[in-house]
Amino acid sequence: MNMMQRLQSLPEIHLAADKAVVQTVHAYFAELYETEVRDKSVMESGEDHSEYLSQSIAEKTVIHRKYWSNPALFYVPCSISGAPRHNWSLLSNIEIFRNDDDDNRLFIFSAKYPFPSGGLSNRVYMLRVVDGALKFEHEFM
């Protein structure tokens, strides 16, 4: 595609990229949320959940590997919680930022997410294209 065609196509290119980012983050949230709902149920049951703990973390680790390119242990799931953190329907003010570098495509997904105790937190992720697929690279707090 020559430069003039590229410039004329930018709105469509950006829309397609934004949709891909949203679809990737949504799929990641959906898979994690399923495990978090089970975590909450197990924790609320009052029963011993030590055996369940390792099973849940293993499942979350599989999900993590599917969506993340950054191998840092910092981002690998290591616990369960009674408060789900990946309920897509609670996100608001979603924004997508991109660098438009064809050789190193990077995207920032930013949204607001409510704290269980009130107020809003920022959910900010950097995604990059790795082998033709969008992958999470970093999460910012």
Three-class secondary structure assignment of the chain: CCHHHHHHHHHHHHHHHHHHHHHHHHHHHHHHHHHHHHHHHHHHHCCCCHHHHHHHHHHHHHHHHHHECCCCHHHCCCCCCCCCCCCHHHCEEEEEEECCCCCCCEEEEEEEEECCCCCEEEEEEEEEEECCEEEEEEEEC
pLDDT at 131 over 90: yes
Task: Examine the pLDDT at 7 and tell me if it is beyond 90.
Answer: no
Residue 94's pLDDT band (boundaries 50, 70, 90)?
A: very high
**Residue 77: pLDDT over 90:** yes
